[in-house]
């Protein structure tokens, strides 16, 4: 397929008549990861922007940090591929239409203010201690699937903090974790099978039936949260609900209920969609970063010992992490950022181009899809010759970082960036501080085979082992 405009980015080779590059997507989610990695590597030599076609639609792929920044700031509408997740997340913040998102984000931002997040430190600490305790049974037993532990723990944490419900150790928790993994799998499977992209063909597929069954489990959780909190809210309608007395700050769920019950801003469906979005956005992400960070620290003992030394210096004995400790854990923060660079857990974002977008060397045409390969930004040659190595130190020497700060976009950049970034960093630092002072981790990151299930994941578990620190 020839590009019609000379300012169009070059077309990636290997397209077929009519179906374009779509056959290359067919396979499993490990193969898909290999295909898009290969595409990113090839894009660097030709300016970091390429086009491809999936059936009749032309899509762009951007791996250049400057151009990627231009796209996210120019076009705020999520691409039609996000509609694959709409039966689950509706018009919640991740998948929502721009016209809805811009108001809802404004309403919800206060639930993530620092003053409010600080009040979660108690839960972050108790949940971290719980994780340490849960892991005790794996000490000295060889390789095990640590991801199961981080996911359950992170799900409980988001429920206890933002949503204000305690689902600790309930069946609902396990069913939800399982259903989340499976539904993300169905979304990727639909993407790979281009004949199911249309809602009309998809409606007849077995995959749609599977998705509908999973949605029952997932929505059951959000409805349970909603009903539980709504009845508490109604029974207590006149009481002072602000979490920090004397301030207007309210945790996410209290804010949602206030905006719907008292102010009529959200209807029941909208609240449910925000709750669903917050549950998945708030747990699967941090749990994955923790899982990959444990693998990387287990594979780099010298970095792990530096983290341990820093924790000992900042915390001294076995006390809880306090909010003022977090900013002192400088090396740990570098480890987390480097981990998110090396294993970019949200590897691809997609925007709908609602206008022509002029980049450094090309112009992208309105109406098309633009895939932002965030993992491609993170492996771009601007990071230097050691781009493929895990080197937390690069974050501590500003001269070693790319000139463009947007070359790091693990939480996305611009107005639609992650609302939970500060929450995530606080909870992950607290968890790692407790974990690393209790256990020595061993792993080999070179053995991990990756797959893309919307998020980046290892194809199989059992990647780490732990020993108690004496």
* Subset of 112-171 contacting ligand HEM (CB under 6 A): 158, 162
Burial tier of 468 (Cβ tally within 10 Å: 0-12, 13-18, 19+): exposed
Query: Are 9 and 48 spatial neighbours (Cβ–Cβ below 8 Å)?
Result: no
Min dist. Cβ of residue 270 to ligand HEM (A): 14
Stretch that binds ligand HEM, among 136-144, 243-251, 284-292, 379-387 (CB under 6 A): 284-292
The residue sitting closest to ligand HEM, measured at its beta carbon, is 420
Residue 11 known to bind ligand: no
Contact between 281 and ligand HEM by CB under 6 A: the answer reads: yes
Stretch that binds ligand HEM, among 141-149, 281-289, 305-313, 391-399 (CB under 6 A): 281-289
Query: Are 152 and 193 spatial neighbours (Cβ–Cβ below 8 Å)?
Result: no
| Nearest-angstrom CA–CA distance, 441 and 272 | 39
Min dist. Cβ of residue 469 to ligand HEM (A): 25
Contact between 54 and ligand HEM by CB under 6 A: the answer reads: no
For ligand HEM, the closer of residues 7 and 103 by Cβ is: 103
For ligand HEM, the closer of residues 15 and 407 by Cβ is: 407
| Site map 286..315 versus ligand HEM, x via CB under 6 A | x--x--------------------------
Rounded to 5°, angle at Cα 103 from 65 and 77? 40
* Subset of 332-361 contacting ligand HEM (CB under 6 A): 340, 345-346, 349
| Site map 82..101 versus ligand HEM, x via CB under 6 A | -----------xx-------
Min dist. Cβ of residue 423 to ligand HEM (A): 5
Sign (positive or negative) of CA dihedral 285, 452, 92, 342: positive
Contact between 105 and ligand HEM by CB under 6 A: the answer reads: yes
Stretch that binds ligand HEM, among 44-52, 277-285, 300-308, 379-387 (CB under 6 A): 277-285
Min dist. Cβ of residue 274 to ligand HEM (A): 8
> What does the binding site for ligand HEM look like in residue numbers (CB under 6 A)?
93-94, 105, 158, 162, 277-278, 281-282, 285-286, 289, 340, 345-346, 349, 410-412, 416, 418-420, 423-424
């Amino acid at each position: 397929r020839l590009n019609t405009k000379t300012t169009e980015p070059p077309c990636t080779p290997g397209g077929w008549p009519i179906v374009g590059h779509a056959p290359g997507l067919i396979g499993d989610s490990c193969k898909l990861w290999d295909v898009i990695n290969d595409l990113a590597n090839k894009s660097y030599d030709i300016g970091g922007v390429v086009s491809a076609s999936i059936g009749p639609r032309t899509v762009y792929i951007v791996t250049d940090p400057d151009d990627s920044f231009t796209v996210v700031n120019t076009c705020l509408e999520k691409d039609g591929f996000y509609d694959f997740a709409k039966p689950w997340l509706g018009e919640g913040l991740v998948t929502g239409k721009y016209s809805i998102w811009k108001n809802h984000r404004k309403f919800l931002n206060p639930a993530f203010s620092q003053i409010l997040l600080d009040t979660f430190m108690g839960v972050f600490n108790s949940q971290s201690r719980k994780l340490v305790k849960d892991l005790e049974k794996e000490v000295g037993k060889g390789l095990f699937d640590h991801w199961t532990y981080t996911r359950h723990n992170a799900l409980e944490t988001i429920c206890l903090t933002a949503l204000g419900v305690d689902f600790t150790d309930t069946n609902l928790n396990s069913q939800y974790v399982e259903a989340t993994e499976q539904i993300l799998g169905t979304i990727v499977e639909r993407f790979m099978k281009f004949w199911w992209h249309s809602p009309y063909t998809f409606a007849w597929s077995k995959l749609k039936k599977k998705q509908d069954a999973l949605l029952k489990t997932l929505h059951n959780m959000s409805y349970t949260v909603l009903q539980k909190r709504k009845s508490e809210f109604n029974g207590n309608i006149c009481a002072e609900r602000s979490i920090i007395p004397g301030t207007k700050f309210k945790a996410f769920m209290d804010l949602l209920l206030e905006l719907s019950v008292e102010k009529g801003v959200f209807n029941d469906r909208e609240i449910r969609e925000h709750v669903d979005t917050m549950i998945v956005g708030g747990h699967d992400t941090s749990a994955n970063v923790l899982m990959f960070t444990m693998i990387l620290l287990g594979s780099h003992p010298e970095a792990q010992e530096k983290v341990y030394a820093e924790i000992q210096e900042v915390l001294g004995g076995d006390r809880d992490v306090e909010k003022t400790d977090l900013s002192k854990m400088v090396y740990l923060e570098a480890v987390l950022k480097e981990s998110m660079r090396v294993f970019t857990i949200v590897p691809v974002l997609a925007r709908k181009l609602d206008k022509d977008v002029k980049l450094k060397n090309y112009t992208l045409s309105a109406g098309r899809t633009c895939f932002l390969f965030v993992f491609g930004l993170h492996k771009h040659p601007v990071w230097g010759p050691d781009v493929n190595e895990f080197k937390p130190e690069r974050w501590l020497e500003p001269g070693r970082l790319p000139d463009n700060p947007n070359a790091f976009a693990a939480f996305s950049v611009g107005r639609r960036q992650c609302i939970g970034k500060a929450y995530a960093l606080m909870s992950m630092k607290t968890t790692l501080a407790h974990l690393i002072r209790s256990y020595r981790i061993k792993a080999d990151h070179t053995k991990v085979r990756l797959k893309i299930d919307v998020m980046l994941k290892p194809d199989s578990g059992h990647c780490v082992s732990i020993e108690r620190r004496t």
